[in-house]
Amino acid sequence: MRTSFRIAAAAGAAALASLSLSACQQATPQAGTVNLEDGLQIVTTTTQVTDFAKAVTAGLDAAGTQVEITPLLSAGESAHSFEPTAADLTALAKADVVIESGMQLESWLDDAITSSGFAGQRIDSSEGFDPESMHEGHDHAAEGEATASETAAADEHAHEGEDAHAHEDEAGHNHAHEGEAAASEAPADAHDHAAEGDAHAHEGEAAASEAPADGHDHAAEEGHDHGDDGHHHHDGPNPHLWAAPKGAETMVTNITEGLAIVDTKDAEAIRANGQGYLGKLEQLTTWIQENVDKVPEAERTLVTSHDAMDYFNQQFHITHIGSIIPSWDDAAEPSAQQIDELVKNIKDNNVKAIFTETQLPADTANTIAQETGAKVFSGKDALYTDALGDEGTPEGTYLGAQIHNTTKLMESWGQTASEAPAELRS
């Protein structure tokens, strides 16, 4: 039997902002509990969410609570283009809990939940995530300097004023008419970048060839994402919060407290599991930072298949030169002009590597590599971004995927990563 209550997973914005499980425990969630006589049926969306849910519920079977986790997405499968099947709707109908990544990543989930008749509790693992938290400890560009991402964005703004045309994408987002500036292009954050000295090129004055001045992707900070036709496909910040361990901390905290609310009998064990996993994320952050610090900031450049690594780049001061698909949506299509601009930025910034992602083909990357001389990291060397690897492999876990990604990034910068702590590899 499922409860008819529907909740957001978080136990208070203040607790989530601090990412403290102890603080979450002090909150007073207004929610019912489920009947666990038949076990706890959990449906998860992305592979990262599935992995976190497994970690948080580890050992509950031995305590007498049968936990069944049914993932909607499989290894190597992206949430952007996912379409639920009849079997997925059946799983949702039987579920006590649905755990989602959130931040509008799963644009299809609301309809699927409605169609399935799901009446359980819903946990949004992104609840309380603050993209601005990624900027802590970062120095902004010196006065008069511009990052490559900013100047590239200014380039696209200039072209939009000349070439933009109206269309409505599959998600139903209305875009600007020719010559009109889309409202979504206005900065989404509260920064006054002009006051910070960031140089934003005006129409016809873009300088995409300038070398990056800092490790930020300011386009991502402002909520800009220039996909096909120069517009993004999300209303809000980049949803790939798991890319950075800081974002994963938010997700694990929400999943932990959400499940502790549902399964009050096992709440203590669930919270202990969550606290233990947060400790591993702290270890992961330390290991990544120690390795990245070996590389001078000016040499920490990255080109990827699509804009999935923004928060990772911000947390570890890595300069995002550009993406083959300049969009958060890996189902978008780049224009010929955008590819030309990326080729130019790769050459101007002496980028040595182009990273594909495991859920995307390497064809365009190989073509760009022929023009630029950059090495393509694909196949087993590709980055695990939108999806983890096959179950049973090191990359099939979030920790293993992050170790893989960091190891390959270090290799692309001419360095060898140190061995990750055993606790992260087990």
pLDDT number for residue 135: 75
For residue range 307-324, list pLDDT tens digits in order. Answer: 999 999 999 999 999 999
For residue range 73-97, list pLDDT tens digits in order. Answer: 999 998 988 999 999 999 999 999 9
| Average pLDDT, rounded, for the chain | 77
Residues 152 and 122 placed together within one structural domain of the fold? no
Measuring CA to CA, how many Å separate 216 from each of 17, 66, 168, 237, 327?
22, 45, 31, 15, 17
pLDDT number for residue 236: 72
Residues 216 and 312 placed together within one structural domain of the fold? yes
How many Å apart are CA 298 and CA 319, to the nearest integer? 8
pLDDT at 371 over 90: yes
Tell whether 393 is covered by a domain: no
Top pLDDT among 41 and 156 is at: 41
3-state helix, strand, coil in the chain (%, to 5): 40, 10, 50
Residues 32 and 113 placed together within one structural domain of the fold? yes
Residues 249 and 227 placed together within one structural domain of the fold? no
Give, as one character, the DSSP assignment of residue 193. Answer: T
pLDDT number for residue 328: 85
Domain count, the chain: 2
pLDDT at 195 over 80: no
Residues 246 and 300 placed together within one structural domain of the fold? no
pLDDT number for residue 284: 98
pLDDT number for residue 92: 97
How many Å apart are CA 303 and CA 355, to the nearest integer? 6
Give CB contacts under 8 A, 24+ apart, made by 192-197. 193/218, 193/222, 196/140, 196/141, 197/140, 197/141, 197/142, 197/143, 197/144, 197/145
Tell whether 192 is covered by a domain: yes
pLDDT at 245 over 90: yes
How many Å apart are CA 70 and CA 74, to the nearest integer? 10
Q: What pTM was estimated for this model as a whole? A: 0.74
Where in the sequence is the domain holding 183, given as residue range(s)?
A: 133-238+293-387
| CATH code at position 362 | 3.40.50.1980
For tokens 């948080």, the residue is 56
pLDDT number for residue 137: 58
Phi, psi of 69 (to 5 degrees): -110, 120
pLDDT number for residue 174: 39
Confidence of residue 34 (pLDDT cuts 50, 70, 90): low
* Mean pLDDT, range 117-130, rounded to an integer: 96
